[in-house]
């Protein structure tokens, strides 16, 4: 597995502002992902963070709203832009170490975002 940390762990933000969430892994990993868990809902994949190239977004998510950076194999950021109360969620990064098993992904502790 991998040890994953996220910053911040939680934040309360005003409508119209932006927040950048950081994800740090203790080892190099090929694949990193960003998920969202809205209140009372399941986890939904936002995008795959690709090292050295643009992220691959899922249907319903766009780069202008959720810009992602992946400068190296251990770090990624997700920005939630021009926030509205509907963006209040837990944002999670995950990694697929690519060693052992088939497709186990390991998750960070999450960032709990509240937008007022």
Partner 1 sequence: DQQVKQNSPSLSVQEGRISILNCDYTNSMFDYFLWYKKYPAEGPTFLISISSIKDKNEDGRFTVFLNKSAKHLSLHIVPSQPGDSAVYFCAASGSNDYKLSFGAGTTVTVRA
Residue ranges that bind partner 1, judged by CB under 8 A? 1, 4, 31, 33, 41-45, 48, 58, 92, 94, 96, 101-110, 112
Quote the Cα angle for 113-96-41, to 5°.
35
Minimum gap (Å) between residue 110 Cβ and partner 1: 5
Nearer to partner 1, 1 or 82 (CB): 1
Q: Is the Cα dihedral 39, 42, 43, 46 positive or negative?
A: negative
Nearer to partner 1, 19 or 92 (CB): 92
Q: Are 33 and 23 in contact (CB under 8 A)?
A: no
The DSSP secondary-structure symbol of 85 reads G
Nearer to partner 1, 33 or 80 (CB): 33
């Amino acid at each position: 597995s991998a040890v994953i940390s996220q910053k911040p762990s939680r934040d309360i933000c005003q409508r119209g502002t932006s927040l950048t969430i950081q994800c740090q892994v203790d080892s190099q990993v090929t694949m990193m992902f960003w998920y969202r868990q809205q209140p009372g809902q399941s986890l939904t994949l936002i995008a795959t963070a690709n090292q050295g190239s643009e992220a691959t977004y899922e249907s319903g998510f766009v780069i202008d709203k959720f810009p992602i950076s992946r400068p190296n194999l251990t770090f990624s950021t997700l920005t939630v832009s021009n926030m509205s109360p509907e963006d209040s969620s837990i944002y999670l990064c995950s990694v697929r170490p690519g060693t052992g098993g088939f497709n186990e992904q390991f998750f960070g502790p999450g960032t709990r975002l509240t937008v007022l």
